[in-house]
């Protein structure tokens, strides 16, 4: 290793803890911004996908157009989408980041929610009708709870992929931890990159674990399955 490289490694290690301490306010702000963007995008995605799912369940012919559209959105490169929306909403508007992020969740959320409702066994529906449940009550007290495991699977996948996509929004000046990564890259200074990258991984894993716990809490019957004897 050349002397210059040795000096560079000494002054620019993978992580320099003094920087972390000095910039802890900036790091905390980045985490909060990252989380805020993720939660807003997920929340918006869930509201829109609920409407789309309702449309699909009510009018089956809408399955193809809705699936095609959400799939198309999903295939768009994220950098391109952020860049396209920046002039529309302005660089500094949070919605410039949230709207595309939410749009990316739709395919996963709609597909899983629809699958959840379709997974309700016909005899269960039949029994609900036969007991005298109105269609609305059947929907709320039977079909929705039974769709929850599928919906939660969709939300977990969407959450993890949104945490990843938020970093990309740094190109339009948003992006939470992504901004740390990009500034580190620009300055060839490894510490912010390391911090930004590892924190976004930790954030994704934590969010996934929290959602997994929520799913388990919402579906107690799923934990207690066993092979029944005769």
Partner 1 sequence: MVGRWVNDVAIRLTDVTKTFDGSSGAAVDRLSLDIEDGSIMALLGPSGCGKTTTLRMINRLIEPTSGSIEINGVDVMSQSPQELRRGIGYVIQQVGLFPHRTIRSNIATVPDMLGWDKRRISDRVEELTTLVGLEHELLDRYPDELSGGQQQRVGVARALAADPPVLLMDEPFGAVDPIVRARLQDELLDLQTKVRKTIVLVTHDVDEALRLADRIALMNVGGVVEQLATPDDLMRSPANQFVERFVGDDRGLRRLALNTVGNLPFHQGPVVADSAAIGEVERVLAAETSDWLGVTREGRFAGWAPADEVRSTMGAGRPLEAVVLQPPVAHVEPSNTLRAAMELIMVSNSSVAVIDDGGRFGGVVTLEDIRRSLAATGS
Q: Which residues bind partner 1 (CB under 8 A)?
A: 121, 123-134, 137, 142, 145-146, 219-221, 224-226, 228-230
Among 159, 153, 172, CA closest to 219: 153
What does the alpha-carbon distance between residue 216 and residue 214 come to, in Å, rounded to a whole number? Answer: 5
Least distance in angstroms from the C-beta of 214 to partner 1:
16
Q: Whole-number minimum distance, CB 194 to partner 1, in Å?
A: 45
Q: How far apart are CA 79 and CA 192, in angstroms?
A: 21
DSSP 60-76: GGGHHHHHHHHHHHHHS
* Three-class HEC string of 116-184: HHHCCCHHHHHHHHHCCCCHHHHHHHHHHHHHHHHHHHHHHHHHHHHHHHHHHHHHHCCCCHHHHHHHH
């Amino acid at each position: 290793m050349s002397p210059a490289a040795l000096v560079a490694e000494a002054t620019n290690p993978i992580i320099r803890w003094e920087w972390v301490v000095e910039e802890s306010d900036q790091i905390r702000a980045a985490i909060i911004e990252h989380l805020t963007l993720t939660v807003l995008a997920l929340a918006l995605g869930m509201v829109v996908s609920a409407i789309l799912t309702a449309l699909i369940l009510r009018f089956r012919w809408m399955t193809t157009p809705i699936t095609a559209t959400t799939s198309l959105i999903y295939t768009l490169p994220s950098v391109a989408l952020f860049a396209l929306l920046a002039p529309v909403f302005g660089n500094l508007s949070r919605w410039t980041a949230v709207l595309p992020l939410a749009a990316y969740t739709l395919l996963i959320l709609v597909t899983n929610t629809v699958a959840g409702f379709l997974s309700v066994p016909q005899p269960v529906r039949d029994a609900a009708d036969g007991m005298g449940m109105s269609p609305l009550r059947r929907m709320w007290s039977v079909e929705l709870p039974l769709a929850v495991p599928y919906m939660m699977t969709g939300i977990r996948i969407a959450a993890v992929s949104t945490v990843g996509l938020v970093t990309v929004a740094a190109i339009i000046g948003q992006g939470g931890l992504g901004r740390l990564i990009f500034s580190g890259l620009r300055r060839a200074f490894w510490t912010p990159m390391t911090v930004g990258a590892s924190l976004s991984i930790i954030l994704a894993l934590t969010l996934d674990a929290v959602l997994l716990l929520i799913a388990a809490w919402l579906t107690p019957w799923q934990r207690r399955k066993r092979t029944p004897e005769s």
